[in-house]
Amino acid sequence: MMNIDASKKRVGEAVVKYIKDGMKIGLGSGSTMFYTVQKLGERVKEEGLNIVGIPTSRETAEWAKKFGVPLTDFSNIQQLDIAIDGADEVDPNLQLIKGRGGALLREKIVADAAKEFYVIVDASKTVDHLGAFPLPVEVVPFGWEVTATKVARLGCDPILRRKDGEIFVTDNGNYILDCNFNKILEPKKLQIDLKSLVGVVETGLFMNMTTKLLVGKDGEVIEKSKKDNR
Ligand code: 5RP
């Protein structure tokens, strides 16, 4: 049985086979994506692969610079060929919870701008129902206490995220509420309900966005496509 980090490396590198010359790529965040960015850098160096990426976090941008993956931004291009990202939970319909790293808003903007969205996880992330992982909800700092009270009425006990004793601030200058819904039976409805609250910027529910899922498990990579669910 491989450990989780070995599975992340395996799947993070495996997805790079889908990258072709000339592609514009959304680069997600998290430890699995580290291996993807590293592998992409190798292909740029060894094959002269001509690609450009838009990073979803400052950390990913730093990795791209370190490994030699050229970057751009949305002032230069409007559409991406593919976005690749990790996830915190994936259900059998390829619906996701994301945002453990706090990059969910940029991740969603980037995934939405891509023709295809590939999700890379180790097997510990696959679940029958979303919600055991607390749902990250990005909120505007002003009046976050009022917003949290409204979020709580939807059936959770929101916790303001902190890091090293300080309130965690996203790359967009917002706060994160981690919301323990436990079992989300109607994720699409919850997404609509949360987004209708003033003060909520975005949620970590990624509905109907995944094109292909790659799962690292026991030294193998198992693939599942959107069409397999129909
Ligand atoms: C960050 C995310 C990450 O993609 C998610 O947390 C997975 O991270 P890792 O690959 O480290 O397990 O959503 O906001």
Residue nearest to atom 14 of ligand 1 (CA): 99
Rounded average pLDDT over 177-187:
96
Read off the pLDDT band of 230 (50, 70, 90).
very low
Residue 50 has pLDDT above 90, yes or no: yes
**How are the residues of the chain apportioned to helix, strand and coil, as percentages rounded to the nearest 5?**
35, 25, 40
Assess whether the C-beta atom of 99 lies below 6 angstroms from ligand 1: yes
Residue 218: the pLDDT is 87
Assess whether the C-beta atom of 104 lies below 6 angstroms from ligand 1: yes
More confident residue, 183 or 228: 183
Residue 2: the pLDDT is 61
Judge if pTM exceeds 0.85: yes
Spacing, Cα 91 to ligand 1 middle (Å): 15
Of 7, 9, 10, 29, best ligand 1 pocket probe by most atoms within 8 Å of the beta carbon: 29
Count other Cβ atoms within 10 Å, centred on residue 65.
14
127, 89 contact by CB (below 8 A): yes
Please tell me which residue in 107, 145, 166, 186 is annotated as part of the active site.
107
- Per residue in 78-103, pLDDT tens? 999 999 999 999 999 999 999 999 99
**Catalytic status, residue 107:** yes
Spacing, Cα 185 to ligand 1 middle (Å): 22
For 185, which DSSP code?
S
- Please provide the average confidence, as pLDDT, over all residues in the chain: 96
101 sits in which H/E element: none
Residue 1: the pLDDT is 45
Residue 65 has pLDDT above 70, yes or no: yes
SS3 of residue 229 by DSSP = helix
- For ligand 1, what atom is nearest to the CA of residue 86? 4
Residue 33: the pLDDT is 98
